Amino acid sequence: MKRSELLRVITGAAVLSISQCLGRPSQALAMEGKLPALDAQAPDFELEAAAQEGALAEKLQRDAFLGSWLVLYFYPRDFTSGCTLEARGFQRDLSDFKAAGAAVVGVSADGTEEHVSFCSSEGLGYTLLSDPGGVVSERYGSWSSPFSQRHTFLIDPDGILRARWKDVSPSRHSQDVLRALKELQQS
């Protein structure tokens, strides 16, 4: 059974969670942490990067983005339907984000080699960060082992967290973030 099929099993009108399907207690998969506070310093990070055109970078830190806006989005896995749809949305709108002075960076538990393959396969022109143990995902309240949760954070040029989204809709998410970015820049 595919992972996406495991996430939701529909039986009549009942929807079962993966934890119910596998006979695990519901708390086992509900390990999301506390989201960082708005209008406060965004949590720091230093992670291995898979960059544009499949180039490998050493490490990338949050402070590398000081002076520009940062869209930091967490997602479960490369090459899954929802994550691919979300990545394509950010790629589609990448020129608009750049025009607004914002970098887009994705984070998941996948390794850099898988990120390089995903970037190449999808033609992604932005960086993906590898967080295999979920340490940074946890700092952002976006970890439910063994995956990052689908959360996004908008960080201003001073490193302050200005907006956040939890459990987003991959199909329209990039547009929602772009709209919020423009509103924040006008206020």
Percentages (nearest 5) of helix, strand, coil residues in the chain: 35, 25, 35
Q: How many C-beta neighbours within 10 Å does residue 41 have?
A: 13
Beta partners for residue 135, in sequence order: none
Which residue is catalytic, options 47, 51, 83, 178? Answer: 83
* DSSP 8-state symbol, 127: E
CA R_g for the chain? 16
Catalytic, 83? Answer: yes
* DSSP 8-state symbol, 35: P
The catalytic site residues sit at 83
